[in-house]
Structure 1
Amino acid sequence: MEPPQEIGLAGLLARQFERFASSLAVKDDGSQFTYAQVHAKALNLAYQIQCQQIGAERPIGILSPRGINHIVSQIAVIYAGGTCVPLDVNQPDRHLVDLLKNINITLLLTDQGNSDRLKGYEFQQIMVDHRSLPTQVCEKVKEGAIDRPQVQYRSHIFHTSGSTGRPKPVQVLASGIINYCLNETFVPIQQGQRFGHLSNVTFDVSIMETLGSFLRGATVVVLDRDTVLNPAQLAKCIRDDMIDVLWQTPALLAATINAYPQAYTTVDTLLTGGEVVTAQLARKILEHGPPKRLLNLYGPTECTMFSTFHSISIEDVERGSIPIGQPMDGYNVIVVDEGLSALPCGEVGELLIGGKGVAGGYFGELEKTSSTFIELPHLWSGGRVYRTGDLGRWSLAGLLEFVGRRDNQVKIRGQRIELEAIESILVATGLVTAAAAVKIAASSTSQRDSLLLACVVPISDDVTASTITQTYVKLATHLMVPHLEIVDRLPLTNTHKIDRETLVERYSQQIVPKMALNSHERLSPIQEILLDVFGFHIGADDNFFLMGGSSLHAARLVTRVKDVLGVQLRIAMIYERPTLRELNELIGSLRKGERWTENTAAFWGQDLDLGKDLQPMPGTIPDWTIESEGRVFLTGGTGFIGIFLLEELLLRPNVQRVACLVRATDELEAMKRIIAAFERYALRPHHIEKLWAIPGDLSERHLGLSNERFMYFAEWTSVIFHLGARVNWIEPYEPHRQANVLGLLNMVRFANTKRPKAIHHLSSTSVYGPVGYVSGATYIAEDKTPKAYLEALKYDTGYSQSKSVAEVIAWNAIANGLAVTIHRPGFVLGHSQTGVGNSDDFFSRLIPSCVRLGQYPELSEHRDAFVSVDFVVMALLQIASSQGSAGRAYNLIEPHGDAMIPVSEIFQSVNEALPRGSLTEVPYGEWVKNCQLQSHTDAQHLLRPLLPMLEETVLDNKTRWELQSRMPILGTDNSWNALRENPDLMCFPTIRSLLPKYVRQWLVNISTDLT
C-alpha cells in the first residue's frame, strides 16, 4: 500500500471510500449516505468541475451551508485538483464578493438556496444538489478523473480575521491535513464511530469533522445551526444520534454543560479548544457524567487545525490551570524570546510552531507571509515555522501552558490588564457560567476614562452584578474591578468563539446612555460629578470601590467636588463615606461648617498589640544556606525590590527552590505575573526551573492556601523573605491593613508552624513618620521601635502607618522570642548598573512632572536616605545568611555616612542634565497650584493620582510631604557590623555618584506612553 503522503489526499479519500463502500458515511437531516454514494456523487461533480478547464490548485468558492452538499463539493474540488474555499452563507453578498475577488476566484459551487445570490457578479457557477448527482459513476467519468497533485498541494484556503479584523487567506496544504487526520499520537476518532459535524464550514475544524472522519472510516453526523446553539436540542441529539466524538469551543461547552450537566455522558471523546479552557469549566464536565476522554486542543489555522493536545484530568483542575499539552506527531513547538532565541523550561515567550502542518502562507500577501512564516535554521531544520503571537511556556512536567495573546493586553488608567485574567477570576467566583472582558475606549471628546467592561452570564436569576463584584474583589484584590453587564448569553462568532468585537461595538454605543440616569431624570450636582468621574451611574447605596473605583477615582473626585461645589474633601473622607448617600450627607455637613474628625489613629492604635500572643514553638531555627535546606518562601516577588531579590535567589547555588506567593487564582496566572515583573525591569533570570509560583493571598489566615497546602509549605520552608505589601500614596490606613498589617501577622504565624523558621521582614525607613518636624528628633537608632513616635505617625500616609504598625507587630514577636529580623531600606531609586528604576514610585512621577512644568518646589529642609536596589538585595541576603541576625533591625542605606541627600540636590542634578533655565525653583504652594492646573488639561499627568497627598494640609497648614522636612539621621551600627566583612557592599558606589544615571532614567519617563 502506498504511503499516505505519496498517494495524496484525493487518492487517500478515494481509497477509503472504496474500502468502506457499504458503511454509513454521512447522516444529514434524516438522509443517510454510504461511502460509495458519497464517492460517486463527488466523482460526478469533479467531472463537471474539470469541464470548466480549471488549472491546478485553482481556488473554487463553495457557497453552501454545513451538510451533504457542502461535503460532496469539497471532496469533488479535491478530486479535481482545485483548492476549496469554504464561504459562510450568513455573510452579506458584498463581503463574499470581496473575499472571492481578493483570491481571483472565477468558479463558484452553490446549493439551490444560494444559487441566486451572486449572479450579478462575474462568477461561473455550478449549482450542487446531491439529489441530482448520480449514486453511480457515469461511463464518461473514469477513475482517472481523480487528480493526484504533488505532495505540497494546496487543498484549502481558510479566511481568518486575526487581530486587525481584515480576513487573511490561509493556504492549507494537503500534506498537513493528512498528517493531522492520520496522526499516530492524536487519534480522536476510530473506525465505525460517529463524529458530530457542528463547526461552521469556514472554520478549519470542519475538516477534522468531515475529511478526518472519512480517513478513519467513521460516520459524519451533520448538526443544524439551531441544534448547535440550543443546549436542550444538542443534548438530545447526542443521545439520539449516538454521537461518539464531538468538538465544541469552550463558550459552547459552557452554555451546554450549565443547562444540561450530563449532556456528554454517552460521548467517547469530547474535544475543545480555540479559546482558554478554564479549570472551572473542566471541573463541571468531569464531575457531572463526563465523557471517556476530554481533550484540550491548541493550534492556529496557519498550522492546519491543531498542533498540540492534552487529555484533561481532575489533577489539572485541582492545579487550577489546563495545559495545552504536547505536540502531535509531525509538529514541533518552540518557546522563544523577543530575539527569537529558545527559552528554557518555565520561561514565558512566544510560541513558534514548525512541522508538517505549517501552511503555505497567506494567498497574495507576501509581506505578511514573510513576517510570520520564517526560517530559523538554528532552532528548526524542518522548514518554516509560524509565529503564533501567542505566549506560553514549558512546565517542569514537560507540558505546554498557554499564557495569553501578545495583543490581548489592554491599558486603562495607566494600568496594564490581561483580559484573560479578568475572565478567569469572574468564572472562579462560581456565580457566572461565562464571562468576556473588553476595553470600552473613551471617545476623543470625552473627559472620562476608558472603561473595563465584563459581560457575564449568571448561574441563576437571583445573582446580581453587586454579588458577583463583591466575590470578585475578595478573589482578586490586585486586579482592576470591571463594570459588569448581566447578559443571557454571550455573542459568538461564526466559529463559535466569543465575539468580543460585537461586545465592544454594542457597548461603546450603549454603555453611557444605559448606565446614566434616564434622560428625563434631573441629575444632582454630585450625581453629575460621579457620572463624570466613574463614567457610569452609581446608585445611592453603591460602594464606589466595590463598583470598580480606585484611589485614582478618589483623587479625581476630590478635585471635581472642589471645582464644582467649592467643598474641600479629604481622601480619607471618601473611604469612610464610600456611597453617594453618605457622601451627600458629608458634603452637606461640611457646608454647614461642621467639623470632620479623622479617626484613623484610633483604628490603627488598636492593632499595635497584635502578635503579643505569639509564643515560639520548640525547635531549632534551620540554617537555610546549607545543602539539605535551601528552600525559600518569598512574598512580594513581583514588586520592585522583590523581583531583583528573586533573580538573585535563583542564581545562588545553595538555593534549591523558591516558592513565590503571588496574588492570583492559579499557578499559571501567578507565573505570568512573575514573568511580567522580570520583563518590566529587563531581567533575564537564570535557573527558572527553581521557581515555584504559588497562587495565594498573604492577607488571609492560611495565606489563601488550603489547610493541607499551608501545612506542607510550613514544613517545607527553610527561610521566609516577607516583602509583600500594598503600596498606595493616598489611600488611608484601612485599605492597607489587610495586606500590610494582617499580612505580616499571618507570615509570622506561618514561620511558627510545623517547625520554627527565620522570617526576614522588609520594613521601611518611613515607619517613624514626620518625626523630625513633629517631635524634633535628630537621630534614631536602628533598634528603636516606631511605637516611640506615634504622635508623628498620625500625620503620615496610610501606607506609612500600616508599615509602622506592621513593624510594631514584628517587635512584639521578637520580644516573645520569635526569629524575626527587620530590614529597612531607604528610598530605593534604581539599579546601580542599569539605572532601571520603578516607574511607578514617587520620584519617577515627580521628576518628569517637574520637567514638563518647568518648575520644582522649594523644599530646603527636605532630605532622604536614598539607596540602590542591588545594594538592598545584597545587604539583605548578607544579613539573612549570617547567624545571629534575628531579633534586630537593620537600616539598609549607604554605609558611607552620607546617605542623607537633600531633595534640592536631586533637582539640581536634574537641572544640570537639561538645557540651562529648564527648571525654576518656586514656593511649594505655587508649584502645587500649577500642578493642579496642568492636571486639568492633561488626564495622564503623572502626579494627578498623588495630588491629594501634595495638597491636603494636615498640621500647621502644611501637607504631608511638607511635614517630611528635618528628617533625622538614621543609625547604621547594626548594618555596619553585619556588612563590614563584605568589600562589595562597603565599597558600593555612592548615591551621589549614581545620580546622573538615575536622572537619565527619570527623564526617559517624560516620553513614556502612559495612556
Structure 2
Amino acid sequence: MRSDAATWNDTGRRFSVVRSDAGHLSVWPVERPLPPGWRPAGREGDYEGCIAAVEATGDAWPGPQCAGRATCPHDTLTAIVGETVRLHGDRGAVTDADRALTYRDLDRESGRMAAALRRSGVSREDRVAVYLPRGADVFVALLAILKAGGAYVPVDTRYPDARRDLMIRDSGARLVITSSRLLPGLASAGVTAVTVEELTERLTGQDDAPLTGDDVLGCQAACVLFTSGSSGVPKAIVLEHRNLGYFALNSALPRLVPEDRVGHVSSLSFDAFNFEVWCTLAAGAEIVVLPTMPDLVATDLQRELRRQRVTAMLAPTMAVNHVVHEDREAFSSLRILHTGGDVILPSACRELLSGSFAGAFHNLYGPTEGTTACTAYHIEAVGPDEVNVPIGVPLTGAGVYLLDGDRRPVVDGQVGEIFIGGPGVARGYLGQPGLTASRFLPDPFAPDCGRMYATGDLARRRDDGLLEFVGRVDDQVKVRGYRVEPREVERLLSRYPGVRDLAVVVSGEGDGKHLVALVAGEALSLRDLRDHAAEVLPDYMVPGAFALVREIPANDHGKRDTGRLLRMARDELRRRSTAVPPRNEVEHYLAKVWEDLLGVEEVGVHDDFFALGGNSMLSFRLRRRIGGDLGVSLDMHDVLTVTVLGELADLVTARRCGAS
C-alpha cells in the first residue's frame, strides 16, 4: 500500500460508535454512509475516543441473537454431528492408541457427559476448559460441552502452567474437564476441575436423560481459541456454531467421505484442529489420533501415515516445507493434503509434486478470526521460475476484500490489506470490546448486519483472479528512510540456487535498524548470495547481514517462531560487533575459507570453528584446503583441537616457517 495513502484514523476525522441490528458494536466515519443493518449508537468524536467509549461499555459481545431454535436459521455443530450419527452410526468416529468409538458410541457418551455437565451447573454459553491428554476422551468432552449449551476452551497439555492458567482465567471458564493424572497440577488455575471419571459417576443412579443439543442455537458461542496478540498477550477469540458449521460444510474444499481417515496432528489449541474434528465429523469420516506434527516429524512420518492408513490431513506449512526436502514421498499415501499457517515454499511444492503424491494438495489461508480458512488454492504445478504460491480464491460464502489505508478497494495488481467478510467471521474478542470494535467493522460490501475483519495481512489480486500473499502491515519497516517489506526480500532471494528456506527479520531500533537474512540451504556461498541480492534488489533492501542456519525454526503451531528468529539475528549481529578482524595474511586467508565452508560472514580472530557450525567433515575439508592452497601439512588432530581462528593461524604460520 502507498505510504501516503489516507489512513482510517486520521487526525481530524470524526467517527461514530455504531451498533448492528444483531447487537455488535463498532466505529464508522461520520461522513460515510452506514452499511445496511447498522445505526449510530451514541458517541461521536475522534477515533480513539470512540474506541474508548466502546471499551467503557464492558460488553465483550452480544449474546445469541435468536430467541429460540425455531427462529435460528444457522447450522449447529450438534445438529451436524447428529445427522452423521443418523447416517453412519456404526462407522468409526475416532480412534486412539487405546480405544475406538463409533459415531453411536460418541453420541451416547457425549450425551451422558452433557447431562452430567448440566447437573454441574453448565448452561448456555458457559465456558468449559478441556485439559485432557490427546485421545478419544477429548472429542467426547467437546461434543458434551456443546450439547450442554456451553462453549469449549481447548488447552494444550504441553503448554507451560502460566500459559494454561491464563487461558483458563481469561476465558472465564466455569469448569475444567481433565484427567486424574493432570488434576493435581491444576491447583494454581483457580477454577473447579473435574475428571472424566467423576462426571460419569455423577450420573450413576440418576434418571437424567442424555442431552442431544436440540436446543442449541447456531448463533451461540461454540468455542474460545487463543491467538498471540501483537503485545504478546494472547487474545481470546469467540467462534460460534455457525462459524464452524460454515467451515465444516464448505463446498470449496475437497469433500471428505466416510471412508477417509483424517490424521489428528494439530495442537488442540490451534485452529487447524477445527478441520480435524468438525470437517471429519460432518463427513462421517474417522479421526485418527496421532502425535503432534513436531513429534511425528521426529519419527518416520511416511511410515506412520501408511501404518495408520491416514488418507487426509492438514499439515502446518513449516512442516511441509521442511519434510518434503528430506522425503518427498512423506505424504504420498494421502488422498487430501491441506497446508496452512505460513508461506508455502514453491520449492517444497515442486518437491512434493515431483514424487508419487497423486492426491489433492491445497494451500489454505485464513486467521483464527475467520474460522481457520477463508481462501484456498489447489496446487497442481509450480513452475521453476515461480517465487510465490497463491493463496487462491475465497471459500464458498466468504468475502475477501483488498482495501487501502482508507478502507477502499484497491485495483487488481495493487497491494491491499485483506479484510474478511461472510459467515466465517468470529463474534469477536472475549472481554475486549474496544479491540473487537477496532478490528471487526461494518461490511459495506455485504447484506444487512454484515461485519468484516481487518486481518493485518497484505495481498494482491492477479489478473487471473488469484490472490497472492505479500506480508503483514506491521512487518513494514523503514530502513534508511525507505519503506521495506521483508517478505518481498525473501521472495526474491529464495529463488537463488541452493536456498531451501529463508527468513528476513528486522533487528535494532530507530536509525539502527538492520535487515538480517537467515538462510537454510546446501552448497551455498553467502558471499555469492549477497552479490545476487545486490543485483536484484535496491541497495536499501539488501540485508546488512547473512547467516547460514540449519533450518528456519517453527513454533508448536507450525508458524515461524519469530521470537527465536529475532534472537538468532541478534546473536549474529552481536558476534560481528565484537569480532576482531584478521590482522595478517594467514588470518585473512583462513577467514575467507571459513566463510566459504561455514556459510558465515565477517569471521573474527577469536571465533571458534565449531561454534560457528563446523563439524568433523568440514574440518576434513578445511585441512585439505590449507594443504592445497598454502602447502602446509596439518593432521586431523590439529584441525579438531585448534579451533580458534587466531590460534590456527599461528599454527599454520609456525608450520610454514618450520618447513622453510
Q: Which residue of 1 is the match for residue 106 of structure 2?
A: 38
With over 3 angstroms needed to count, the CA separation of the structure-2 counterparts of 1:139 and 1:381, relative to structure 1, is same
CA distance in structure 2 between the aligned counterparts of 1:541 and 1:318, rounded to whole angstroms: 32
Q: 2:279 aligned with 1:212, yes or no?
A: yes
Query: Matches of 1:35 and 1:313 in 2, distance apart?
Result: 34
> Across the two proteins, how many residue pairs are aligned to each other?
528
Give the partner amino acid of 1:504. L
| Residue aligning to 1:225 | 292
Normalising by structure 1, what TM-score? 0.48
Aligned with residue 374 of structure 2, among 298, 307, 310: 307
Partner of 2:264: 197
Amino acid at match of 1:287: S
Deviations 1:784-825 (A, max 9, x none): xxxxxxxxxxxxxxxxxxxxxxxxxxxxxxxxxxxxxxxxxx
Give CA-to-partner distance per residue, 1:346-403, whole Å, 9 cap, x none. Answer: 2321111111111001111111111111113366545111111111232221222222
User: In the alignment, what sits opposite 1:79?
Assistant: 147
Q: TM-score, normalised by structure 2?
A: 0.73
Q: Is the 8 A contact 2:116 2:200 kept in 1?
A: no
Deviation, 1:243, is 1.5
The separation in 1 between residues aligned to 2:184 and 2:368, in whole angstroms, is: 31
Alpha-carbon separation, structure 1, partners of 2:189 and 2:244:
32
User: 2:228 corresponds to which residue?
Assistant: 161
Question: 1:226 and 1:334 mapped to 2: Cα distance?
Answer: 32
Q: Look up the match of 2:184.
A: 116
Tell me the residue number matched to 1:456.
Answer: 519
Question: How far apart are residue 200 of structure 1 and its match?
Answer: 1.0
Query: Is the radius of gyration larger for structure 1 or structure 2?
Result: 1
Kindly indicate whether the alpha-carbon contact (under 8 Å) linking 1:171 and 1:362 is maintained by their aligned counterparts in 2. Answer: yes
Query: What runs of 5+ residues in structure 2 fail to find an aligned partner?
Result: 1-69, 603-645, 647-660
Alpha-carbon deviations, 1:127-185, whole Å to 9, x = none?
1369x969x99973424453532221110111111333221111111101111111123
What are the equivalent positions in structure 2 for 1:40-439 lying under 5 Å apart? 40-128=108-196, 140-144=207-211, 146=213, 148-225=215-292, 228-230=295-297, 232-314=299-381, 319-377=386-444, 381=448, 383-439=450-506
The CA distance in 2 between the partners of 1:181 and 1:317, in whole Å, is 35
Distance change (3 Å), C-alpha of 1:360 and 1:283:
same
Q: Which residue of structure 1 lines up, in the alignment, with residue 14 of structure 2?
A: none
Paired residue secondary structure (2:363): strand
Q: How far apart in 1 are the matches of 2:447 and 2:403?
A: 12
Displacement after TM superposition at 1:430 (Å): 3.4
Q: How far apart in 2 are the matches of 1:234 and 1:540?
A: 37
Q: More deviation in 160-169 or 462-471?
A: 462-471
Q: 1:267 is paired with a residue of what secondary structure?
A: coil
Give 1:482 shift: 4.9
SS of residue in 2 equivalent to 1:112:
coil
> CA offsets, 1:661-708, max 9 Å, x none?
xxxxxxxxxxxxxxxxxxxxxxxxxxxxxxxxxxxxxxxxxxxxxxxx
The residue matched to 2:168 in structure 1 has which SS? helix
- Maintained 8 Å contact 1:44/1:138: no
C-alpha contact 1:44 1:137 (8 A) present in aligned 2: no
Q: Which residue of 1 aligns with 2:555?
A: 493
- Do the aligned residues in 2 keep the contact of 1:436 with 1:456 (CA within 8 Å)? yes
> Partners of 1:494 and 1:227 in 2: how far apart?
7
Q: Contact 2:72 / 2:219 at 8 angstroms: preserved in 1? A: no
Per-residue CA distance 1:580-629 (angstroms, 9 max, x = gap): x9xxxxxxxxxxxxxxxxxxxxxxxxxxxxxxxxxxxxxxxxxxxxxxxx
The 1:542–1:231 alpha-carbon spacing in structure 2 relative to 1, beyond 3 Å, is: closer
The 2-side partners of 1:464 and 1:40 are apart by 62
Q: How far does the alpha carbon of each residue in 1:435-461 deviate from its partner, in whole angstroms, 9 at most, with x for none?
A: 22211226x9xxx933322333324xx
Does the 8 Å contact 2:131/2:176 carry over to 1? Answer: yes
Q: Deviations over 1:540-582 (max 9, x none)?
A: 9979xx9889xxxxxxxxxxxxxxxxxxxxxxxxxxxxxxx9x
Displacement after TM superposition at 1:90 (Å)? 2.2
Amino acid at match of 1:146: G
Q: CA separation of 1:482/1:37 partners in 2, compared to 1, >3 Å: closer, same or farther?
A: farther
> 1:129–1:143: structure 2 CA closer, same or farther, 3 Å change rule?
closer
For residue 500 of structure 1, report the CA deviation from its aligned partner: 0.9
Deviations 1:618-655 (A, max 9, x none): xxxxxxxxxxxxxxxxxxxxxxxxxxxxxxxxxxxxxx
- After the TM superposition, list the runs of 4 or more consecutive aligned residues in structure 1 that deviate by more than 6 angstroms: 136-139, 522-527, 540-543, 546-549
Distance 1:202 1:3 in 2: 32
CA contact (8 A) 1:408 1:419 kept: yes
Residues 367 and 63 of structure 1, relative CA distance in 2, 3 Å threshold: same
1:422 touches 1:437 (CA, 8 Å); kept in 2? yes
Q: Would you say 1:511 and 2:572 are equivalent positions?
A: yes
Aligned pair partner of 2:545 in 483, 496, 511: 483
Contact map agreement 1:5 1:175 (CA 8 A) in 2:
no
Change in Cα spacing, 1:457 to 1:347, as seen in structure 2 (3 Å) is: closer
The superposition leaves residues 509-536 of structure 1 with CA deviations (integer Å, 9 ceiling, x where unpaired) of: x334544667xxx767999xx9xxxxxx
Q: Is residue 365–residue 376 contact of structure 2 (8 Å, CA) maintained in 1?
A: yes
Cα distance change of structure 1 residues 238 and 468 upon mapping to structure 2, 3 Å threshold: farther
Q: Distance in 1 between matches of 2:384 and 2:301?
A: 25
Work out the CA distance in 2 between the residues paired with 1:343 and 1:181: 31
Equivalent residue number for residue 24 of structure 1: 92
Q: How far did 1:314 drift?
A: 1.5
Contact 2:156 2:268 (8 Å CA) reproduced: yes
Q: Is the 8 A contact 1:231 1:255 kept in 2?
A: no
Alignment CA distance shift 1:65-1:255 (3 Å): farther
AA at the equivalent of 2:177:
L
* SS in structure 2 at match of 1:53: coil
SS of residue matched to 2:557: coil
Q: Does the 8 Å contact 2:415/2:458 carry over to 1?
A: yes
What is the CA distance between 1:80 and its match in structure 2?
A: 1.1
Q: Tell me, in whole angstroms, the C-alpha distance in 1 between the residues paired with 2:423 and 2:329.
A: 37
1:846-891 deviations in Å (ceiling 9; x for gaps): xxxxxxxxxxxxxxxxxxxxxxxxxxxxxxxxxxxxxxxxxxxxxx
Task: Write out aligned runs for 1:674-689 (5 A).
Answer: none
Helix, strand or coil for the counterpart of 1:119? helix
**Contact 2:293–2:315, Cα closer than 8 Å, also in 1:** no
Output the CA distance in 2 between the equivalents of 1:138 and 1:32: 26
Q: Greater relative contact order: 1 or 2 (C-alpha under 8 angstroms, separation 6 or more)?
A: 2
Contact 2:456 2:473 in 1 (8 A): yes
What's the C-alpha RMSD, in Å, of the aligned pairs?
3.4
Q: Hey, what's the Cα distance between the residues in 2 that align with 1:399 and 1:349?
A: 14
SS at match of 2:138: helix
Distance 1:203 1:121, change over 3 A: closer
- Secondary structure of 2:216's counterpart equals coil
Aligned letter for 2:516? L
Supply the distance in 1 between the matched residues of 2:295 and 2:72 (Cα, whole angstroms): 33
* Aligned counterparts of 2:548 and 2:601: Cα–Cα separation in 1: 16
- Alignment map for 1:646-665 (pairs within 5 Å): none
- Residues 74, 219 of structure 2: 8 Å contact kept: no
Per the alignment, residue 15 of structure 1 pairs with 83
Partner secondary structure for residue 262 of structure 1: coil
